[in-house]
Structure 1
Amino acid sequence: MNEIQQTPVVELAETPVTELVETSGHTSGAEWLARYSTSLMGVFGTPQRVLVRGAGCLVWDADGKEYLDLLGGIAVNALGHANPFVTSVISSQLATLGHVSNFFTSPTQIALAEKLLALAHAPAGSKVFFANSGTEAVEAAFKLARRNSTGPSGSPRTKIIALEGAFHGRTMGALALTAKEAYRAPFEPLPGGVVHIPFGDVAALEAAIDETVAAVFLEPIQGEAGVRPLPAGYLKAAREATTNAGALLILDEVQTGIGRTGKWFASEDAGIVPDAITLAKGLGGGFPIGALVTFGEQTSSLLGAGQHGSTFGGNPVATAAALATLHAIESQRVLENVAKVGEYLRAGLADVHGVTEVRGEGLLIGFDLDADVAPAVVTAGLDAGFIVNSPGPRTIRLAPPLVLTTEQAGTFLAALPALLQTAKDAQ
C-alpha cells in the first residue's frame, strides 16, 4: 500500500492562510463580492464590505480602507480583533489537542464550566452545557423547558412565554421564541406553545403565568429590538411569578453577557437567581462557542444522558478561547473600561442634534433619530470609516469591542453630526 504523501510540518507551520485563497494577484472588494454572489447563499443579502484584517478596534477591507469597528461582530469580539493573548492560547491549544468529540472531555472544558459557574455565583448542583452559538444555547434551553412538563396538579405544562420584540435566534425552537413576524412567517408552523406578551408590562406578565407555563424566556436588554432594557423590577417580578407557578425563568444573555454591560451578566444586579442563562457571542472573544448555565440540582437534572448533545460543543479550542477571553477581561480590568467608555458615549450621544433618545448599559447602546434615516447613517458611516448597525429605521446600535477607548469613541461622536446630515441629504 502506498504511503500518503504529507507536507512536512515545518512547511505547514510557515504557510499563511492567504496562500490558501485563490486571488490571481490583488483582488478588489468589488471582485470579491462578485465571487461571493456566485458561491454563497443570499441569506445575508450583499455584504457591506470584504474585510481582510483587524487589530484591536480597527479593521481593514480588501481595498485597504480602515474602519473603527463599533459593532464588534454584533457584540462578539469582546477584546477586539487579533488579540495577541487569545490568539496565542488558541494556537497553543490547537497545536496540542483540537477536537475529541463528546465521548471524552478535556481540561479546558472542565475549567471553563467551573469558571462560568463561579462568575454566575451559581449554587451547588448547577451545571453547564456547551454549544457552538447563541441559538444553539437557546435550543438547549428550549428543550430544558419542555422537560418541565407537569404542573403541580398533574396538568401538562404546554406554554412558554416570551416577549414582544424578542430575538432568541433563527433555528426552529429559538425562532418560535423570536417575535419578529418577518423572521417567523416563512417557516411556520413553528414549535408550538409559545406565547408573546407585551414588553415590560408586569401586569401582563403576571396574568400570563400559571401552572400551564413551562418557562419564561427574557432578555435583560433586547438588542435586536433596538437596545431596550427591561424596566426596573421586571426581572424580580418575573422571578416571583415563575417561582409561584413552578415555571422556569430562563435569561437570554447571549448579547448582554460576558461584560457587555460593564458587569459579567446584565441581570446580576436584579437580586434574583434564574433557573438558567444562555451565553455566546463575547464568550469566545471571536471564536464560536455558546453555553447554557443551569442553576441548582433540580433544573440541572432536567436533561439526562442522551437527551441533548453536540459534536463540536465544548471542544478544547473553543473552551480555551473562552478561558483566555475571561482571563483577559479580569486581568486587564476591562469591565471598568466598559463602564467608563459606555458612560462617555451615552452622554456624548445625548448631546448630538437629531438624536432623540439614548438607551443601554455599558457598551451595548441604542440611540434613536428624529427621522427614518438609520440605514443611510450606516452607509454614511462606512464611507467615513465607522461600522455601526441599524436594527430599525430610526435606531442605531453600537456594540463595539469592550476595549474601545474614549479617544476612539470621541472620533465617532465628532463625526456623527455630519453623518446624520449626509443621511438626511441622501433621502
Structure 2
Amino acid sequence: MTAPTRVPVRTRTSADLIRAEEPVLAHNYHPLPVVVARAEGTWVEDVEGRRYLDMLAGYSALNFGHRHPALVEAAHAQLDRLTLTSRAFHNDRLAEFAERLAQLTGQDMVLPMNTGAEAVESGIKVARKWAYDVKGVPADRATIVVAADNFHGRTTTIVSFSTDETARAGFGPFTPGFRVVPYNDLAALEAAVDETTAAVLIEPIQGEAGVVIPDEGYLTGVRELTHREGCLFIADEIQSGLGRTGRTLAVEHEGVVPDVLLLGKALGGGIVPVSAVVGRRDVLGVLRPGEHGSTFGGNPLAAAVGTAVVELLETGEFQRRAAELGAVLRDGLADLVGKGVVGFRSRGLWAGVDIDPALGTGREISQGLLGEGVLAKDTHGSTIRLAPPLTITEAELVSALGALARVLGRG
C-alpha cells in the first residue's frame, strides 16, 4: 500500500492547514478560519501574508501585544542561561519575580503556577486548607461560594460549579463543596455564607459571560461581607487584571483588597504560560512542603518573563493607556447603539458588545470582521468581545470600530 503524499508544511496554504488539523486535533475548539503565521505588536499575518488587527489579544494574554521587545529580550536572555530546574532546587530568577509581583499587587506571598486553571485550582486548595487549619471548619465540610455564569477554567473541579452546560455535560460526577449564587446579588451571597464557608470566589468582571460589570459597591459589599463572616475573598483577575481595565487590578476601581488574587494570562506576556496565586502571608502560609506543587511552576524562564511583565506594569503606562483609549472605545460603541448594537459593557480596553440578533450571531459578526481584517471573538449568542492589546493606537482602535460599523451595516 502506497503511503499518502504529505505536503511539506512550508508550502501549505491556510486551507491546507485547516483541513490537516481535522483528523489529528481533538475538536475542543471551533476557531475562526484564519491561520496566523507571524505577529508583531497589534498586528498578525496569516500564511498568505494577509494582515489583521488583533482585537482579542489572546483573551488578555497579549496585553502588551505580540512579541513585545522587552519581553522577547527577557526570554532570549534567559534561554541562553537556564530554563528549568523544577522546584526541587532554587533558581536565581524566582525570588525577584515573587518580590516584585507581591509589591505590585499589595500582597505578601506568591504561589507560582502555569495556567489560569491551575491558579484557580490552587486557590481552591489554599482556601480549603485555610478553612481547616485557621478557621476551624470540620474536616471535609468546607464550602466555597461562587457566582452563576462564572468562567474560571475547564478542569473537572472547576466545571463542577459552572452553570454553562456545554462545559459540564458529560463530565460528571462533579466535585462537591460549592454553592452557586447569582452574580451582582449581595443578598443572595449573604444567604449562602455560613460557618462552613472557606471563601467567596468571584471574577470582579465576568469575562466569558460577556464582560459583565457589577453594580458600583458590589465588590465593596463582598469585601465587607467576607470580613464580617470570617471567610476569604478570592478575586479571579486572570482576564481582568494586569492593566486591562485601566488599573493594575479590576478590584482597584472600588479600592478593594481581596485576601487572595488569581493571576495568569498576561503574566506570561504571551510568551510562556505563567500564573500565580498571590495573597496574605497568613493564608498562603498554610501550605507545607509536599501539599501542593508544580514541576514547571516558577521555572526560571517563566520567572524572567513574569518579572519583565511586572516591570512594564510598574511604570503605570499601560494602565493609563487602557483608561484613556478605553474612553475612545466606549464612545465609539455608544455611537453604534441603535445601528446594529443593542447594548454594550466596557471598562478600560475591554468590552462585551451585544449585536442585534437579526444581524447575525456573534460568530457570524466575528467572521464579518475577519473579512475586514479585524480579529474578534464571540462569547455566546449575538455577543462579541473586544480586548485589544494595550499597545493599540487610537487610530487603530478607531479603524476597528469603523470595521464593526461596516459589518453591522451589511446585516
Same fold flag (TM > 0.5): yes
Q: CA deviation at 1:46?
A: 5.1
Q: Is the 8 A contact 1:278 1:293 kept in 2?
A: yes
Give 1:175 shift. 2.2
What is aligned with 1:15?
A: none
1:333 aligns to 2:317 (yes or no): yes
- Does the C-alpha gap of structure 1 residues 331 and 275 become closer, same or farther in structure 2, counting only changes over 3 Å? closer
1:9 is matched with none
* Structure 1 residue 24: Cα displacement: 5.5
* Other-structure match for 1:114: 99
CA 1:333–1:22 in 2, change beyond 3 Å: closer, same or farther?
farther
- Supply the AA of the counterpart residue of 2:348: G
Query: How far apart, in 2, do the equivalents of 1:184 and 1:145 lie?
Result: 23
1:35 aligns to 2:20 (yes or no): yes
Measured after TM superposition, the shift of residue 380 of structure 1 is 0.5
Asked if 1:61 is matched to 2:46, the reply is yes
Distance 1:282 1:67 in 2: 21
* Residue in structure 2 matching 1:144, options 121, 126, 129: 126
Question: Structure 2: which amino acid aligns with 1:143?
Answer: K
Q: 2:37 aligns with which of 44, 48, 52?
A: 52
> Is contact 2:217-2:254 (8 Å) kept?
yes
Which amino acid is the alignment partner of residue 251 of structure 2? Answer: S
Pairing 1:223-262 to 2, within 5 Å after superposition: 223-262=207-246
Alignment of 1:200-215 (within 5 A): 200-215=184-199
> For residues 372-412 of structure 1, what are the alpha-carbon distances to aligned partners after superposition, in whole Å with 9 as ceiling and x for unaligned?
53221100011111011110212110111111111000101
The structural deviation recorded for 1:288 is 0.9
Unaligned runs of 5+ in 1: 1-20
Distance 1:159 1:331, change over 3 A: closer
Superposition deviation, residue 268 in structure 1: 1.9
How far apart are 1:265 and its partner, in Å? 0.6
1:74 maps to what in 2?
A: 59
- The structural deviation recorded for 1:155 is 4.8
What's the offset of the Cα at 1:210? 1.3
Distance, in Å, in 1 between the alignment partners of 2:404 and 2:123 is 40
2:392 aligned with 1:404: yes
> 1:272 Cα shift?
3.0
The one-character-per-residue Cα deviations of 1:255-299 (angstroms, maximum 9, x if unpaired) are 01111111111002323331101000111110210000022x321
Distance 1:332 1:272, change over 3 A: closer
Q: Tell me the equivalent position of 2:402.
A: 414
Structure 1's 375 and 305: CA in aligned 2 closer, same or farther, altered over 3 A? same
Asked if structure 1 preserves the Cα contact closer than 8 Å seen for 2:251 and 2:257, the reply is: no
- Structure 1 residues 158 and 329, CA gap change in structure 2 (3 angstroms): closer
When the two chains are superposed, the root-mean-square deviation of aligned CA atoms in Å is 1.9
Equivalent in the alignment of 1:11: none
Question: 1:98 offset after TM fit, Å?
Answer: 0.8
What is the count of residue pairs matched by the alignment?
399
Letter aligned with residue 144 of structure 1: V
Name the CA distance, whole Å, in 1 between partners of 2:269 and 2:57: 10
Alignment-derived partner of residue 110 in structure 2 = 128
CA contact (8 A) 2:151 2:209 kept: yes
Q: Where in structure 2 are there 5+ consecutive unaligned residues?
A: 1-5
Which residue of 1 is the match for residue 3 of structure 2?
Answer: none
Look up the SS of the partner of 2:86 in the other structure. Answer: coil
- 8 Å CA contact 2:113–2:275 kept in 1: the answer is yes
Matches within 5 A, 1:294-333: 294-295=279-280, 297-331=281-315, 333=317
- SS of the residue 1:396 aligns to: strand
Deviation at 1:369, TM superposition (A): 1.8
Secondary structure in structure 1 of the residue aligned to 2:169: helix
Letter in 2 for 1:314: G
For residues 152 and 104 of structure 1, what CA distance do their matches in structure 2 show? Answer: 32
TM-score, normalized by length of structure 2? 0.92
1:100 and 2:85 equivalent?
Answer: yes
Displacement of 1:39: 2.1
Say whether 1:362 aligns with 2:371: no
Measured in 2, the distance between the counterparts of 1:250 and 1:24 equals 45
Structure 1 residues 82, 273: closer, same or farther in 2, change over 3 A?
closer
Could you tell me whether the CA contact under 8 Å between 1:159 and 1:195 is conserved in 2? yes
Match of 2:274 among 285, 289, 293: 289
